[in-house]
Amino acid sequence: MLSNLPPQLDATWRRRFEFYATHSSPFSKPALDAYKALSGADRLQIGFNIWAFVFGILYYIFLGITKRGIGIAAVSFIVWLLLIGADADTWWLRAHAIATQAVFGGMANYYYFIKVTQGRDEWDPVKDVRPI
């Protein structure tokens, strides 16, 4: 499965891809068990993308996983509208913004793995992350 990876992928991306190829969805039991066995730095490197956290949908567009990024942004926008409609405190709006960026950062690596290995970029942001 990993033999058809583009040669321009660096060692960090290859390591992430090897983890996902071996353990499947990040929320599957084997992946969660393997993730717990990693060191803190390795967990951060495999399970989180700081660039996606900082730049959000722009980084998703850069990676070519635009539909997934729009899906996350659409869900976030709906929640934001509900918070505004409920006259939520500013604290809730800030917490929502940080949570949205955390979702972007936490899912980018796996979504990119799906895009590169299977050529898929779909609208449903939770399709491939359901536990197996």
Helix (H/G/I), strand (E/B), else coil: 10: coil
Per-residue pLDDT for the chain (132 aa), expressed as one digit of tens each?
Answer: 566 667 778 888 989 998 988 888 888 888 888 988 988 898 899 989 999 999 999 999 999 999 999 999 999 999 999 999 998 888 999 999 999 999 999 999 999 999 998 888 888 777 777 665
Amino acid at 116: V
Both tokens of residue 100? 């949205």
Contact between 132 and 24 under an 8 Å Cβ cutoff? The reply is yes
Q: Which of 69-101 are b and which e, b meaning 16 or more Cβ less than 10 Å from the residue's Cβ?
A: bbbbbeebeeebeeeeeeeeeeeeeeebeeebb
The pTM (predicted TM-score) of the whole model is 0.85
Contact between 49 and 109 under an 8 Å Cβ cutoff? The reply is yes
Separation CA 94–CA 115 (nearest Å):
31
